[in-house]
């Protein structure tokens, strides 16, 4: 396979630039614009024939628009006879819709995986997707990269003899155990029930948290409702206010800042997998570009 070609979607230019910098390549020149009717149009402005193409796109903010742009870039590369097309999703939208939780629902994660394949993508790179089971939806090699060690290092200065790492729901219990093991402390989890897209109830805590100081960990922070409910459940179980909450993806949508300001959580730690927002929250952001560039370098043999 000849030279690596990085096609940067427009959703997160700063991260794409950082990945390109780490790989010591310049992103391929391309044009991506909106037609007056709202349709996106993309054109690759130099040939990628025979090249090892990586389409980098974070699908946060405008998930549908970002996904469509990534699909169009992959299709354009394939039609230009690219040697191979890999999609790199620092944040992969729709991953939480991985099953029919209720009645006549769409399993959107599977649908999107099928669309990615239909666009000509032959491999994907995902950064801490909501569930690693997502890999099974892609009928192609899937490289999962994890920011867990980076998050653990960012949390390490906050560790004391009373620290306990807590997942705000059962689904994240394994993640909490992994981070707890890296930090040499114990883990616990909250029993969460989602009662609507922005409504969460959490009452019970599994594990020893009384008089302990929690570090909450999750794959993502969206509306902040999960973390706020977890902090309240922990207080009810006799724990101190959480020293921090860490997650790979910090979306902070809607009134997340207001909700989290009232949560009692001391600090928030996220990666830059999605574009940052100006926020008054005490926030530490860890760069994900070296992880993603490392994955691309391994896959491309560079």
Query: Which residues are the active-site residues?
Result: 192
Instruction: Please state, in angstroms and rounded to a whole number, the distance separating the CA atoms of residues 221 and 281.
Output: 13
Cα distance between the two ends of the chain: 11
Q: Considering only residues 25 through 84, tell me which ones interact with ligand R5P, judged by CB under 6 A.
A: none
**What is the nearest approach in angstroms of ligand R5P to the Cβ of residue 255?**
11
Within 10 Å of residue 100's Cβ, how many Cβ atoms?
10
Instruction: Tell me the pairing of strands 40-44 and 51-56.
Output: unpaired
DSSP state of 274: S
Q: x/- contact string, 147-176, with ligand R5P (CB under 6 A)? A: ---------------------xx-xx----
Q: Considering only residues 122 through 141, tell me which ones interact with ligand R5P, judged by CB under 6 A.
A: 130
Give the residue with the Cβ less far from ligand R5P, 169 or 272: 169
For 140, residues 6+ apart whose C-beta sits below 8 A from its C-beta are 117, 121, 122, 123, 124
Question: Quick one: which segment of 25-33, 39-47, 137-145, 218-226 binds ligand R5P (CB under 6 A)?
Answer: 218-226
Give the residue with the Cβ less far from ligand R5P, 86 or 222: 222
**What is the nearest approach in angstroms of ligand R5P to the Cβ of residue 42?**
30
Residue 4: burial class (beta carbons within 10 Å; 0-12, 13-18, 19+): buried
Question: Quick one: which segment of 6-14, 69-77, 208-216, 224-232 binds ligand R5P (CB under 6 A)?
Answer: 224-232
**What is the nearest approach in angstroms of ligand R5P to the Cβ of residue 234?**
15
* Beta strands, E only, the chain: 2-8, 30-34, 40-44, 51-56, 84-89, 123-127, 142-145, 163-167, 186-196, 199-206, 213-221, 244-250, 268-271, 283-286
**What is the nearest approach in angstroms of ligand R5P to the Cβ of residue 256?**
7
Give the residue with the Cβ less far from ligand R5P, 76 or 231: 231
Q: x/- contact string, 98-117, with ligand R5P (CB under 6 A)? A: --------------------
DSSP state of 289: H
Among 19, 219, 272, 289, binds ligand R5P (CB under 6 A): 219
Among 5, 151, 220, 233, binds ligand R5P (CB under 6 A): 220
What CA dihedral angle connects 34, 39, 45 and 48, to 10 degrees?
Answer: 140
At 62 the three-state DSSP class reads coil
| Residues pairing with 51 in the sheet | 2
**What is the nearest approach in angstroms of ligand R5P to the Cβ of residue 111?**
19
**What is the nearest approach in angstroms of ligand R5P to the Cβ of residue 129?**
11
Give how many residues touch ligand R5P by CB under 6 A: 16
**Binding region for ligand R5P (CB under 6 A):** 96, 130, 168-169, 171-172, 200, 218-226
């Amino acid at each position: 396979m000849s030279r690596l070609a990085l096609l940067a979607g427009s959703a997160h230019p700063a991260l794409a630039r950082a990945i390109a910098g780490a790989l010591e390549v310049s992103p391929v020149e391309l044009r991506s614009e909106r037609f007056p009717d709202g349709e996106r149009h993309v054109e690759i402005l130099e040939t990628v024939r025979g090249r090892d193409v990586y389409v980098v796109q974070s699908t946060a903010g405008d998930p549908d628009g970002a996904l469509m742009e990534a699909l169009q870039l992959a299709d354009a590369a394939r039609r230009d006879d690219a040697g191979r097309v890999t999609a790199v999703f620092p944040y992969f939208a729709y991953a939480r819709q991985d099953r029919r939780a209720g009645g006549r629902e769409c399993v959107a994660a599977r649908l999107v995986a099928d669309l990615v394949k239909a666009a000509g993508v032959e491999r994907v790179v995902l950064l801490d997707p909501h569930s690693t089971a997502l890999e099974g939806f892609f009928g192609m090699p899937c490289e999962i990269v994890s920011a867990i060690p980076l998050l653990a290092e960012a949390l390490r200065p906050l560790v004391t003899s009373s620290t306990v790492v807590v997942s705000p729901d059962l689904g994240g219990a394994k993640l909490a155990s992994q981070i707890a093991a890296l930090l040499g402390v114990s883990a616990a989890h909250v029993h969460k029930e989602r009662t609507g897209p922005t409504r969460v109830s959490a009452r019970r805590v599994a594990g020893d948290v009384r008089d302990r100081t929690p570090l909450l960990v999750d794959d993502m922070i969206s509306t902040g409702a999960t973390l706020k409910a977890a902090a309240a459940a922990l207080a009810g179980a006799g724990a101190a206010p959480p020293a921090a909450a860490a997650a790979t993806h910090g979306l902070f949508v809607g009134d997340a800042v207001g909700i989290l300001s009232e949560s009692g959580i001391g600090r928030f730690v996220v990666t830059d997998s999605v574009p940052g927002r100006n926020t008054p929250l005490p926030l530490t952001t860890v760069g994900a570009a070296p992880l993603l560039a490392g994955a691309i370098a391994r896959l491309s043999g560079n």
